[in-house]
Structure 1
């Protein structure tokens, strides 16, 4: 009788190998930031639906009966345009249980940032240590996105040391707060992605409120974004939306749509 060893996984944080049962289901982004039931949207049907006269008539009738436009369009989206893709949220088996537990305090710090909408006046009141935990929480989430599975990141030690305040590596994170310029018809797409430039590579991760881009080259000056390390400063500027250009987010989105079609 041949006995096969249980499949071994390498933890992306500590680098050790573990059996499948010793790995955790890591949510990316965090489960309580909009990653609880990820759905797929039929974009073609969406445009047909919202340009349909019968749908317009249905919306007008419901508005006349006191329903809000947000609730009406939300109901149409839920019942006609979306199908559940990840009912329990998007997860990956990229971290061992011990490392996942260790990162829990970082996720708690980021949740405080998330719940306060990243408002500079509010974040200024955080201790510097908490701000570093927020930064490390986002860097750590990029370890779990599938597009970066083969990437050898140089910020591992920075994440693993809770007291570290120095990172001089090659990877920078820039982010924006979501608004209607980043979300088509107000729908908050939280897919991950990767785009490649002559200068290097850009990875994307987002949640219900923020869009983060990790890159190994200086940000293009035409895209206005906030450097994640700027939250350490007093009265940092929080950039909202992606502007008319769409930023990296639009390119990641279109690349994903194109790959789906192919």
Structure 2
């Protein structure tokens, strides 16, 4: 940001504050409306108490599922309002935000169909490319990547471009109980560094995305975002027993909040 100026992360030009947009990351339509934070300290205290353990036991005995129980506890006791209007950033000028909006419209179709492989295979190639560009575009806005110079900007700026051969890759999974602590969905952002490179994270209500500048570790089962272009596209559910990158980023953020 220059003196009293903001730099658009897409076109690279500088603008007055009033010319910048409030960019939602992820899009408002995929769960980014009223962001709440998990009170970590209260959570640990609550689940260690005999009263909470008895309440959970009684609900389980009454036939309630653990996801329903944990969801109710999160919503009513552990959640604290963080971004009432959704998480936003002033990273794009108004023109660029509107331009990327058409990519987000395509992604909403993917989101609404839960990324189902059979349904997505019926999409046009252009729609699939727009879906891919939507996710790449959202990483321009996460705070952890504010100093990163991404080489996929030109890929995003040209809506007719169908190929990207840069160093960044996106892998993702469909959320399930293995990815969310006690079923409590967290759509925070994050960053973790390895010897091979860096991993950024962005998620919405249904999917967790990791942007990285190296090939993912083979021990983590995830879908390459560009695989949605292929006939053998397969959607990976959950993060598995090892938790994947998501667990490492979540724990890093958790410990930083406790310190």
Task: Report the TM-score when normalising by structure 1.
Answer: 0.92
Partner of residue 250 from structure 2, selected from 230, 253, 256: 253
**Contact 2:41 2:258 (8 Å CA) reproduced:** no
Partner of residue 55 from structure 1, selected from 39, 52, 59: 52
2:152 and 2:253 map into 1 onto residues whose CA distance is 27
Q: Deviations for 1:23-58, whole angstroms, at most 9, x for unmatched residues?
A: 000011111111111111122322332443433554
1:221 and 1:91 map into 2 onto residues whose CA distance is 33
2:218 and 2:67 map into 1 onto residues whose CA distance is 35
1:223 and 1:234 map into 2 onto residues whose CA distance is 22
Partner of residue 25 from structure 1, selected from 22, 25, 38: 22
1:225 and 1:70 map into 2 onto residues whose CA distance is 23
Distance 1:246 1:140, change over 3 A: same
Count of matched residue pairs: 258
**Contact 2:67 2:182 (8 Å CA) reproduced:** no
Q: Which residue of 1 aligns with 2:118?
A: 121
**Contact 2:26 2:204 (8 Å CA) reproduced:** yes
Written as runs of structure 1 = structure 2, the 5 A alignment for 1:89-128 is: 89-128=86-125
1:8 and 1:120 map into 2 onto residues whose CA distance is 44
C-alpha displacement of 1:79: 2.7
Q: Which residue of 1 aligns with 2:231?
A: 234
Distance 1:59 1:251, change over 3 A: closer
Q: Deviations for 1:193-247, whole angstroms, at most 9, x for unmatched residues?
A: 1111111111000011100000111111111110000000113111111111111
Q: CA RMSD in A?
A: 2.1
1:12 equivalenced with 2:12 (yes/no):
no
Q: Helix, strand or coil: the match of 2:201?
A: strand
Q: Deviations for 1:164-191, whole angstroms, at most 9, x for unmatched residues?
A: 1111100000001111111000011111
Written as runs of structure 1 = structure 2, the 5 A alignment for 1:160-171 is: 160-171=157-168
**Contact 1:120 1:234 (8 Å CA) reproduced:** no
**Contact 1:117 1:209 (8 Å CA) reproduced:** yes
Q: Which residue of 1 aligns with 2:136?
A: 139
Task: Report the TM-score when normalising by structure 2.
Answer: 0.93
Written as runs of structure 1 = structure 2, the 5 A alignment for 1:193-208 is: 193-208=190-205
